[in-house]
Amino acid sequence: MKDPLLQRVATPLLCALLLGSALPVHAGRPAPTNDFSKAEAGERAQGGDTTHDKRLNADAFSHSSANLSFEKRLDFALGNGMFKKIWVSSPSSTTASDGLGPLYNARSCQRCHLKDGRGHPPEGNYPQDTAVSMFLRLSIPPQNEAQRKALAEGRLGVIPEPTYGGQLQDFAIQGLPAEGRMHIDYREIPVQLSDGETASLRQPSYRITDLGFGPLHPQTLLSPRVAPPMIGLGLLEAIDEADILAQQDPEDRDGDGISGRANQVWHRQRQALALGRFGWKAGNPTLNQQNTSAFNGDIGISNPDSPAPSGDCTVNQPLCLQAPNGNTEQHDNQEISRQMTDLVLFYSRNLALPPRRDVDDPQVLAGKKVFYETGCIRCHTPKYVTGDNPALPEQANQLIWPYSDLLLHDMGEGLADHRPEFLASGREWRTPPLWGIGLTETVNDHSYFLHDGRARSLLEAILWHGGEAEPMKQAVIEMPRQQRANLIRFLESL
C-alpha cells in the first residue's frame, strides 16, 4: 500500500478493512488506544475523508475538504472570496462591499484569520503595532433585576459595557473616533523544570488607552481573545451532541479531578438554549451564529442573523448610530445577504485539516504515550466518529482526531479572565482542539498559543495550565527532560 493517505480517499470502513483494524462506522467516541508501538489506523487523516493531501506550506489551512464534489468546489471558492472581501464605509460606489463599521476591528474575515489560521497578540502597543487579530471583550456585572433575569434565563450571555458595548473596536470610519487602544504589559515568571531545565512564562496585564467616548463603567470586565484557526470547524459541528454531553462530570463523580461541563447558550434562530461549541468559552451554538456574530461585531456588517446596521454601537455613541449604512434590497435589506453568509458558512465548514506528520516516528509515539498516560486526554478527547447527516455528507460518518471534548474546564487563576459568559465562569475555558497546532509557525509565522497568545511555545502553553489540569502540569514539570521533549514532538506532529 504505497499511498499513506489511503484512509483519506477511501471510506472509513474500507480503510479499516484494508488496514486490518475494525474502525467504528457509527457516531460515537472510540476508546483511546493503549498501544503506542505504532500509529493507529486512520490517524494520519485527522479529518477523515475531508483531510487534504496538499503541500504543507503557508497555505496548509486554506484547502477545501478533499471529498467535495467538483460542483461544490465553486461554492467553496465563492465563500473564500467573501471571507477575503475588503469592506468599505457607506455611502460608496461599490454597493456590494459597503457597510463597514461604523466601528470595527478588521475590514475582512481574513484580516483576523490570516491564511485561515491562528491570530496573535501585537508585537508592541499602539502605535508600534495594531492588534488586528486580537481584541478585548467587554462586559459588566448585572446592574438590575431585568439583567439578572436575562442572564439566568440564558437569553443573554453577558451584559455589555454601557458605552462601548460587547467588545473594544480600535478602528472607526472617517468622522468617528476609535473606541480605544488595547495596551498590554508583560511580566516574566520563571519556572524550574526537572533535569536542570528552566522556562519563563510571560504574564500579561491589560488596560485600555485613548478612550474615544468617555470613561468605562467602573466594573468593566476585560477578556482578551485572539482569532482561532478555521480548520475542521464543520467536523466539530458534526459531532453528535450526545457524545459531547456524555463527557460531562460537573460534580467529578468519578473522582479523577476533571469536572468538564457543557455551556448552554442562546440559539438566535431557535430562540432557545442550545449546546455551545464555538468560541473560547463555547459561547456560540452553531458555526453560522459564530460567523454572523463576527460579521456584525468585528466588521460592523449587518446580516439576517445579526441585523444591527451599526454593529456594536451603543445608545451612548449617538454619532455612531447616525452613521450611514450599506443596507440594500439586493442584500435582503442588510449589508450582507443570506446567500452571502451561507457561502461563508460553506467555506468555513469545509476548510480541510492537513494530514498528520510522522505518525510512526518513535519519538512521536513516545510523546503520544506521555500525552495519554499523563492524563491530557481527559479533556483533550482524541477521536470521534461524526454523526450521519445526509444534508452535510462531507462531514458525516468521519473518524476525526480533534483532541478536544468541547467542554468547559476550570483552568486555574493564572488563565482566569474573571468574566463569565453564559454558564462559563471567569476561570473556565472550552478545551481547544489541538489538530493542526504543529503547523502554526508554518502557516502564521509565529508560535503564540492560548486565548490571548501569551504562550510563546507549546511548552509555555502547557505550563500555564492550572485548576483541573494542575496535576498534569506538575507531571510535565517533574518528568525527565527527554519525556518533555517527546511530548512536545507529539504535539508538533498534530
Q: What is the pLDDT of residue 25?
A: 54
CB within 8 A of 159, min separation 6: which ones?
Answer: 139, 140, 141, 142, 143, 147, 151
Instruction: Please report, for residues 204, 232, 281, 388, 456, the alpha-carbon distance to residue 452 in angstroms, rounded to integers and kept in the order given.
Output: 9, 21, 13, 35, 11
Per-residue pLDDT, averaged over 167-174, amounts to: 96
Query: Please, are residues 384 and 404 in contact by the beta-carbon 8 Å criterion?
Result: no
More confident residue, 92 or 365: 365
Model confidence at 45, in pLDDT bands (50, 70, 90)?
very high
β-pair type (399-400, 181-192): unpaired
Per-residue pLDDT, averaged over 154-169, amounts to: 98
Lowest mean pLDDT among 41-55, 255-269, 282-296, 323-337: 323-337
Q: What is the pLDDT of residue 108?
A: 97
Q: What is the pLDDT of residue 8?
A: 37
Q: What is the pLDDT of residue 184?
A: 97
% of the chain surpassing 90 pLDDT: 90
More confident residue, 330 or 146: 146
**How many angstroms from the chain centroid is the CA of residue 175?**
33
How many Å apart are CA 252 and CA 280, to the nearest integer? 22
CB atoms inside a 10 Å sphere around CB 317: 24
> Which of 161, 472, 101 is CA-nearest to residue 315?
161
Q: State yes or no: pLDDT of 167 exceeds 90.
A: yes
Q: State yes or no: pLDDT of 10 exceeds 50.
A: no
Q: What is the pLDDT of residue 161?
A: 98
How many Å apart are CA 104 and CA 312, to the nearest integer? 8
- Kindly report, residue by residue over 347-358, the tens digit of the pLDDT: 999 999 999 999
Per-residue pLDDT, averaged over 318-331, amounts to: 91
Per-residue pLDDT, averaged over 2-14, amounts to: 39
Q: What is the pLDDT of residue 16?
A: 38
Q: State yes or no: pLDDT of 164 exceeds 80.
A: yes
Peptide bond into 218 cis (omega under 30): no
Lowest mean pLDDT among 21-30, 147-156, 426-435: 21-30
Q: Where are the domains of the chain?
A: 6-71+351-493
Based on C-alpha coordinates, what's the Rg of the chain?
22
β-pair type (384-385, 408-410): unpaired
Residue 198 pairs in a beta bridge with 192
Q: State yes or no: pLDDT of 200 exceeds 80.
A: yes
How many Å apart are CA 9 and CA 53, to the nearest integer? 10
How many Å apart are CA 130 and CA 132, to the nearest integer? 6
- Kindly report, residue by residue over 374-403, the tens digit of the pLDDT: 999 999 999 999 999 999 999 999 999 999
Per-residue pLDDT, averaged over 18-32, amounts to: 63
Q: What is the pLDDT of residue 3?
A: 40
Lowest mean pLDDT among 1-10, 221-230, 263-272: 1-10
How many Å apart are CA 491 and CA 473, to the nearest integer? 15
Cell numbers 439586493 correspond to 330
How many Å apart are CA 342 and CA 331, to the nearest integer? 13
**Residue 351 in 3-state DSSP?**
strand
Average pLDDT, the chain: 94
Query: Please, are residues 365 and 348 in contact by the beta-carbon 8 Å criterion?
Result: no
Per-residue pLDDT, averaged over 172-199, amounts to: 97
Per-residue pLDDT, averaged over 298-308, amounts to: 94
Q: What is the pLDDT of residue 166?
A: 97
Q: State yes or no: pLDDT of 415 exceeds 80.
A: yes
Model confidence at 312, in pLDDT bands (50, 70, 90)?
very high
Q: What is the pLDDT of residue 21?
A: 37
Residue 106 pairs in a beta bridge with none
Q: What is the pLDDT of residue 218?
A: 98
Q: What is the pLDDT of residue 129?
A: 87
Q: State yes or no: pLDDT of 329 exceeds 90.
A: no
% of the chain surpassing 70 pLDDT: 95
